[in-house]
């Protein structure tokens, strides 16, 4: 096995942080924006609708606004509000 030269181990490293756009802070549960939650829901929902694992029954007016009524087939809710395949 060849030995690694120790003379230039820090080549390519920077002492200061490079300039650039800062990343978004990590979101905590309950702080997600509505549009992000809707995007996360729409992707698997479309697949489930196409494979007949879910069906949209319609919409309803609630005190908080419009709601969509969806039936999921072959799943049961778990204690933490997630769904589990049966």
Is 77 contained in some domain?
Answer: yes
- Residue 48 near residue 72 (C-beta atoms within 8 A): yes
Is 20 contained in some domain?
Answer: no
The whole-angstrom separation of Cα 86 and Cα 78 is: 11
- The pLDDT > 70 percentage for the chain reads 70
Section 2-9 average pLDDT: 62
- Name the residue range of residue 49's domain: 34-85
Instruction: List helix spans (H) across 1-86.
Output: 34-50
Is 80 contained in some domain?
Answer: yes
Highest-scoring range by mean pLDDT, 28-32, 39-43, 62-66: 62-66
Q: What's the pLDDT tens digit per position in 44-75? A: 888 888 888 889 999 999 998 999 898 888 87
Is 52 contained in some domain?
Answer: yes
Section 26-43 average pLDDT: 79
Q: Count how many domains the chain has.
A: 1
Is 19 contained in some domain?
Answer: no
Examine the pLDDT at 86 and tell me if it is beyond 70.
Answer: no
Is 4 contained in some domain?
Answer: no
With vertex at residue 50, the alpha carbon angle to CA 47 and CA 52, rounded to the nearest 5 degrees, is 105
Radius of gyration of the chain (CA): 24
With vertex at residue 10, the alpha carbon angle to CA 25 and CA 13, rounded to the nearest 5 degrees, is 30
Is 55 contained in some domain?
Answer: yes
């Amino acid at each position: 096995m060849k030995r690694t030269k120790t003379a230039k181990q820090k080549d390519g490293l920077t002492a200061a942080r490079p300039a650039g756009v800062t990343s978004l802070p990590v979101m905590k549960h309950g702080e997600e924006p509505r549009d992000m939650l809707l995007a996360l829901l729409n992707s698997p929902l479309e697949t489930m609708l196409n494979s007949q694992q879910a069906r949209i029954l319609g919409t309803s007016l609630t005190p908080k606004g419009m709601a969509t009524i969806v039936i999921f087939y072959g799943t049961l809710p778990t204690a933490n509000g997630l769904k589990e395949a049966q």
